[in-house]
Structure 1
Amino acid sequence: MTSAGDLLVIRPKRFELPAWLVVLGLLLRWSWRAGWWCLRHPVATASAALAVTLYVEFDWPGLVVPLALLAAVSLAWWWRHESSWWAWLAGPLLGFVRRVFVYRRVWREAMTLCGLAETYDHRRVLPELLRVRSDQALDVLTIRMVRGQTPEQFQKVSANLAYAFGRRHARVYSERPDDPPTRTGWAAWLLRAVDRVRFRDRPTVVYLALVRTDALRTVVPPFPVPAVPDFTALPLARREDLRTWSLHLLATHVLVGGATRRGKGSVLWSLVRALSGGVASGLVRLWVIDPKGGMEFALGRPMFARFACKSFEAMADLLDEAVDVLRERQARLAGTVRVHTPTEGDPLVVVVVDEMAALTAYLQDGDLRKRIASSLGLLLSQGAGVGVLVVAALQDPRKEVLPFRDLFPTRIALGLTEAAQVDMVLGDGARNRGALADQMPRWAKGVGYVILDGTPDPVRVRFSFVSDSDIRDMAAQYPAPADAADILAQVGRETADEPVRPPLPRKPLGPLLPDSLRNLLDGDGGGAAR
C-alpha cells in the first residue's frame, strides 16, 4: 500500500544473459575487428600468412632464406633506381614503423596540448592518424579531422605540431601535397583509374608534412641548361623532398622578396641559366635593369639584348620600349590567340629588374619615377598574355615601395625581417600556413618559400647557387644573337651615359633683414660702443 508523499524507487528490469551468449558476442566482436583490420592492411596480412606458412613447412630456414633474398633484391633495387625504391618499398615500410613507434606513442598528448582535441558528449574526441608516408627527408601524416574542424586550425598550430613531434619545420596541406604521376604504357589506363581513387578530393582529411632531415642545408649546384627551355617547367630549386621545383614562367610575372644577402641573386641567376638555351637560339630575349651600377648583372652582359645599369633615363627608355613591343603585339595578335607562343621570330621578352625599389620609391626625380611606374603598371597588367614578362626583386615589399605588388601572380619569399612581410609577398595567411620566412637561419641563403601551382600552400625550397665562373661560362657559351632584325636585338647598344644636368638658375640672396632694421641695430651697437 502506498499513499501520497511516499518515495517510490523504480528500477528497470534486468535481463540476465547466459555466460555462453556473452562469450559468443565478444568472440564475434573481436573476429569482426580482426577481419576489418586484415582488409585494411592486406600487405601486412599476406606477409604474416606467408611467414607462418614458410615456418610450418621449412622451419627456420624457411624464414631466413627468403629474408636474405629479399635483402639482396632490395639492395640491387636501391642501387639501380633509388627513387622508385623509396616510393614503393622503403617509404611505406619506414612510414609504417614510424606510425606505430613514433607518432602513435605520443598522439593523444600532442593533439591535446596543441589544442586540437575536442569534447563531445562528455568524451574526448581526437583527430585520427590514418597513414604515415615517408621518404628520404619528410614524413607526411594523413589525418582525419574531427567533425567541425577546418584545416586552418591545424595551420595555426603547425609550429607547435613540429616541436611536439621533435622537429623544427612542419607544414599543413588542405589538399594532397603531391600530384598524380604521369602514366604511360600498356597498363596506363588501369594505373590512372587507381590514381583517381588515390588522389581524390577528401575534404575531411588534412596532411601534415614534418621535415625529418633538412635536405636544404647543402648548397644546390646549378641545374643543366636545357637546349630548348620549357617555359611551363623551368628547373630552379630543390624541394624539401629532394624533388626539383620548376617555375611556370609562361604568361605570368614573378616577384622575389627578400632581405639583403638572402639570395635574391640565386633566384635571378637560376632563372637566367634555365633560359640560357633559349637566349642563344633567339627564343628568349633578356632585358635587364640593374640599378646597382651593374654589380649584380654586368658579368652576364653578352646574354642580354638590353642592359641598363647607370642611367635612370636609360632604364625608363628600356621600359618604354617594352611597352612599345606590348602594343605592337596586341595589335597583331588580337583576335588570333589569347596567349603568346614564343618563336625565334617572335621571342619571349623577359624584363628582369633588380632592386625594384630604386625605381619606384627611392628615385629622386619625381617625373622620371612616375614615367617608370606608368610603364611598369602597363607591363604588369597587360604584358603576360603577349609574352612581355617582368621578373622583379626587392627588399621591402610594402605598398609604399611597390604599389602594384598585387599584379605579380607568382611570388617567392626568401628570408625577410618581419613577420608581416611574409603575407605581403606570398599573400594573406601564408605565414599561418607554414611560410616562416622571417625565421630563416643565417646559413639559409637562397632558401625561400614558393606557392605550388593550383594550391595556396607554401613549399620550402633552395635555389641553385650560380657562381661567378658559372656566369662567365654562360656568357661565353650562350650569348644573345646579334643579327636579328627586330626591335629586340640590340646587343651592341650600351648603357646610356648619365646626362649632364645644368645648374638651376638661382637669384643671388640679399640680406635677410630690411635696411631700416639693420640701420637701427647698427646705431644701437655704435652707441653702446661709445
Structure 2
Amino acid sequence: MTSGGDLLVIRPKRFVLPMWLVVLGVVLRWLARFCWWCLRHPVAVGLAVAAVVLYAEHGVLGVVVPLVLSSAVSALWRWRDEASWWRWCAGPLLGRFRHVFVYRRAWHEAMTLCGLAETYDHRPVLPELLRVRSDQALDVLTVRMVRGQTPADFQKVTANLAYAFGRRHARVYSERPDAPPTRTGYWALLLGWVDRVRFRDRPTLVYLVLVRTDALRPVVPPFDASPVPDFTALPLARRENLGTWSLCLLATHVLIGGATRSGKGSVLWSLVRALAGGITSGLVRLWVIDPKGGMEFAMGRPLFARFAGTSFEAMADLLDEAVTVMRERQTRLAGTVRVHTPTEADPLVVVVIDEMAALTAYLQDVDLRRRIAGSLGLLLSQGAGVGVLVVAALQDPRKEVLPFRDLFPTRIALGLTEAAQVDMVLGDGARNRGALADQMPRWAKGVGYVILDGTPEPLRVRFSYVTDDDIRDLARRYPAPADAADILAQVGRKSTPEPVRTPLPRKPSGPLLPDALRNLLDPNGGSEPR
C-alpha cells in the first residue's frame, strides 16, 4: 500500500533477447563484413581459392610449382620491362603490404599527434586511409578527410607527417599527383572512359606522398639534345619517382633562386642543352648576360647569338634591344595570334641572366640600374606572348633586390639559407606545402623544388649535371648560325602602321593663373624677354 507523500518508482518491463538471436545477429554481421571484404579484394580472394583448390587436388606440389613458375615469370618481366613490372605487379603488392603492416598500425597515433583527429559527439573522428600505392621510391597514400577539413590542414603538418611515419620528405596534393595516361590503339576509347572515373575530381580526398627511398641522391647525367626541341616539354631533371621532369618554356618566364654552390648552373646549362637542337637550326636565339665577367657562360659562347659579360652598359643595351624586338612583334602580330609560335624566320628569343641581383640591386650607377629595371619590367610583363622570354637566376630573393619577382610564372627553388626565402621564391605557403629548400643536405647540388603556374603543390626534382667537357662538346656540335645576331633586322620589316588619330578640337581658354600671380612668378617681372 502507498500513502500520500511516498515515492513511487515505476520500472518498465525489460525486454531480453534470446541468446540464440544475439549470436545469430553477430554471425550475420561478421558474415556481411566478410562478403564486403571479398568484393573489395577480388584478387586476394581468387588467389586464396586457387591455392586451396590446388592443394586439395595435387597436395603440396600443387602450391609450390605455381609459386616457382610465377616467380620465374616475375623475374623475367622485371628484366624485360621494370617500369611496367612495378606498375602492375610489385607496386600493388608492396603497397598492400605497407598499408596493412606499416601505415594502418600507426595511423591512429600519427593522426592524433599531428593534430588531424577531430571530435564529434564525444567520439574521436580520424581521416580514413583508403589506399596505398607504391613504386620504386614513393608511397602514395589516398586519404579521405574528415568532414570540415581541407587539404591546407594536411599541408601545414607535412613535415610532421613525414617524421611520424619515419621519413624525411613528404608532400600533400589536393589532386592526384599523376596525370592520366595518353591512350592509343583499339582500346583507347574504353580505357579513356575508365580514366575519367579513375582521375575524376574528388574534393573529399587528399594524397600524401612519402619518399621511401631518395632517388635523387645519384648525380643525374645530361639528357640527350633533341634536334627539334619541344618547347612545351624540355627534359631538365629527374623526379622522385624516377621519371623525367620537363619544363614548359613556351609563353612563360623562369626564376631560379638558390644560395651559392646550390646548383644554379645545373639548371641553366640543362636548359641550354635541351634547346641546343633549336639553337643550331635557328628556332631559338639565346641572349646571355653574365655579370660575373663570363665565368659561368663564356665557355659556351658559340651557342649564343648575343653575349654580354663585362660591360654593364652592354647589358643594358642588350635588354633595350630585346624590348625593341618585343615591340616590333607586338605591332606585327596584334590581331593575328595571341601566343607566338617559333619559326626559323621568327625564332624564340630567350634572355638568360645569371645573378640578376647584380643588375637590379648591386649596380652602383643609379641611372643604369633604373634603365635595366625598366627594360626587365617590360619584358616580364609583355614579352611572354610574343616569344621574348626571360630566364633569371639569383641568390637573394628579397623584394628590394627583385621587385618584380611576381611576374615569373615558373619558379625553381634550390638550396636556400633561410626558411622565409622559400616563400619569397615559390610564393606564400610553399614551405608549409612541403618545399623544404632551406633544409637541403650537403650532397644536394642541383636538387630543388619547382612551382608551375596554376599548381600550388611543389615538386622535388634534381637537375642534370653538365660538365665542362659536355659544355665544350655542346658548343662544338650546336653552334648558333652565323647570322644569329642580326635578329634586330626584324624591326625593319614592314608591319601594320599605327592609325593616325586627328586631334580633337579644343575650345580656346584663357590663362590658368591670374595676371598678378603670373607677374609675381615671372623672373623678368612680366616684361617681354629681349
TM-score (norm 1): 0.90
Match of 1:361 in 2: 361
Match of 1:372 in 2: 372
Instruction: State the shift of 1:3 in Å.
Output: 5.5
Provide the C-alpha distance between the structure 2 equivalents of 1:265 and 1:140, rounded to a whole number of angstroms.
Answer: 32
Match of 2:128 in 1: 128
Q: Which moved more, 1:419-428 or 1:479-488?
A: 479-488
Match of 1:151 in 2: 151
Provide the C-alpha distance between the structure 2 equivalents of 1:315 and 1:459, rounded to a whole number of angstroms.
Answer: 33
Provide the C-alpha distance between the structure 2 equivalents of 1:180 and 1:454, rounded to a whole number of angstroms.
Answer: 18
Match of 1:74 in 2: 74
Pairing 1:297–2:297 present = yes
Match of 1:281 in 2: 281
Unpaired runs of at least 5, structure 1? 491-530
Provide the C-alpha distance between the structure 2 equivalents of 1:86 and 1:412, rounded to a whole number of angstroms.
Answer: 30
Instruction: State the shift of 1:240 in Å.
Output: 0.7
Change (3 A) 1:7 1:273: farther
Instruction: State the shift of 1:27 in Å.
Output: 1.9
Pairing 1:481–2:514 present = no
Instruction: State the shift of 1:486 in Å.
Output: 4.5
- Code of the residue aligned with 1:66 in structure 2: it is P
Match of 1:119 in 2: 119
Change (3 A) 1:10 1:211: farther
- Code of the residue aligned with 1:313 in structure 2: it is E
Pairing 1:317–2:317 present = yes
Match of 1:175 in 2: 175
Q: Secondary structure at the match of 2:385?
A: coil
- Code of the residue aligned with 2:405 in structure 1: it is R
Provide the C-alpha distance between the structure 1 equivalents of 2:182 and 2:168, rounded to a whole number of angstroms.
Answer: 33
Provide the C-alpha distance between the structure 2 equivalents of 1:52 and 1:454, rounded to a whole number of angstroms.
Answer: 53
- Code of the residue aligned with 2:479 in structure 1: it is P
Provide the C-alpha distance between the structure 2 equivalents of 1:266 and 1:451, rounded to a whole number of angstroms.
Answer: 17
Change (3 A) 1:96 1:485: closer
Provide the C-alpha distance between the structure 2 equivalents of 1:31 and 1:453, rounded to a whole number of angstroms.
Answer: 51
Instruction: State the shift of 1:489 in Å.
Output: 8.8
Across the aligned residues of Structure 1 and Structure 2, the Cα RMSD in angstroms comes to 1.5
Match of 2:388 in 1: 388
Q: Secondary structure at the match of 2:384?
A: coil
Q: Secondary structure at the match of 1:369?
A: helix
Change (3 A) 1:267 1:11: farther
- Code of the residue aligned with 1:142 in structure 2: it is T
Q: Secondary structure at the match of 2:445?
A: coil
- Code of the residue aligned with 1:172 in structure 2: it is V
Pairing 1:409–2:378 present = no
Unpaired runs of at least 5, structure 2? 491-530
Match of 1:38 in 2: 38
Provide the C-alpha distance between the structure 2 equivalents of 1:232 and 1:488, rounded to a whole number of angstroms.
Answer: 26
Provide the C-alpha distance between the structure 1 equivalents of 2:340 and 2:357, rounded to a whole number of angstroms.
Answer: 29
CA contact (8 A) 1:305 1:489 kept: no
Provide the C-alpha distance between the structure 2 equivalents of 1:304 and 1:158, rounded to a whole number of angstroms.
Answer: 43
Match of 1:233 in 2: 233
CA contact (8 A) 1:305 1:488 kept: no
Q: Which moved more, 1:250-259 or 1:43-52?
A: 43-52
- Code of the residue aligned with 2:20 in structure 1: it is W
Instruction: State the shift of 1:7 in Å.
Output: 3.6
CA contact (8 A) 2:411 2:452 kept: no
Match of 2:506 in 1: none
CA contact (8 A) 1:482 1:489 kept: no
Provide the C-alpha distance between the structure 1 equivalents of 2:367 and 2:142, rounded to a whole number of angstroms.
Answer: 56
CA contact (8 A) 2:410 2:452 kept: no
Match of 2:190 in 1: 190
- Code of the residue aligned with 1:303 in structure 2: it is L
Instruction: State the shift of 1:475 in Å.
Output: 0.3
- Code of the residue aligned with 2:64 in structure 1: it is V
Match of 1:462 in 2: 462
CA contact (8 A) 2:397 2:424 kept: yes
CA contact (8 A) 2:321 2:488 kept: no
Pairing 1:14–2:14 present = yes
Aligned positions of 1:424-435 closer than 5 A: 424-435=424-435
CA contact (8 A) 1:287 1:349 kept: yes
Change (3 A) 1:5 1:391: farther
CA contact (8 A) 1:452 1:459 kept: no
Post-superposition Cα deviations, 1:54-109, rounded to whole Å, max 9, x if no partner, equal 11222111111111111111111111111111011100000001111111111111
Match of 1:528 in 2: none
TM-score (norm 2): 0.90
Provide the C-alpha distance between the structure 2 equivalents of 1:14 and 1:459, rounded to a whole number of angstroms.
Answer: 63
Provide the C-alpha distance between the structure 1 equivalents of 2:463 and 2:439, rounded to a whole number of angstroms.
Answer: 18
Change (3 A) 1:489 1:117: same
Provide the C-alpha distance between the structure 1 equivalents of 2:95 and 2:163, rounded to a whole number of angstroms.
Answer: 19
Provide the C-alpha distance between the structure 1 equivalents of 2:3 and 2:48, rounded to a whole number of angstroms.
Answer: 70
Change (3 A) 1:251 1:12: farther
Post-superposition Cα deviations, 1:479-512, rounded to whole Å, max 9, x if no partner, equal 000135942599xxxxxxxxxxxxxxxxxxxxxx
